[in-house]
Structure 1
Amino acid sequence: MFKSITADNGSEFSLLTLQLKGQVSVYFAHPFASWERGTSENQYKLIRRFLPKSMRLSVISNRKVQAIQRYMNNYPRKNLGSQPPS
């Protein structure tokens, strides 16, 4: 399904190369280079429409999270001919 994965340099991704060896190419983005992670940055932008950066995540209800999830899953994608993912 995927040909490559670009991850942040966080310690949570330290074993990613070993775990996916032979399955997919793994690349690591440079620190402070958000343009190297375009898809994730675009997803963050969509989430920020509902949750400002200063908002505490502990106060968000499950219902609100599910509403955001539905919105993102039904958001039309340019690379899909303005259709939502199926």
Structure 2
Amino acid sequence: MNISKREQRVLHALAQGGLIRHVKDETGRIVAADCLNRDGWALTDCSMKLFQRLRRRRFVASSGGGPYRITRLGLDAVRAQLDNR
């Protein structure tokens, strides 16, 4: 499956235990999304447009109103990378 470098980077961070916190307005629409890795650091690559694309392709999902996490489909789409820690 073709995914961009930014999508790849975000999905890789999510696969390692990261999450995407979202902020909703009064009408219940998501207006902001912050992608955090497992250590709590924010990823600057994760924009609102990228988040919407990941949601539309069902690579991330929220359960019970909680933060968005990677799905099985997202794990299948992400390519293996070395951890550069």
Please indicate, yes or no, whether the TM-score normalized by the shorter chain is above 0.5.
no
Bigger RCO of structures 1 and 2 (CA < 8 A, at least 6 apart)? 2
Which one has a bigger Cα radius of gyration? Answer: 1
| Bin of the TM-score, shorter chain as denominator length | under 0.3
Higher helix share: 1
Q: TM-score w.r.t. structure 2 length?
A: 0.22
Give the TM-score, by structure 1 length.
Answer: 0.22
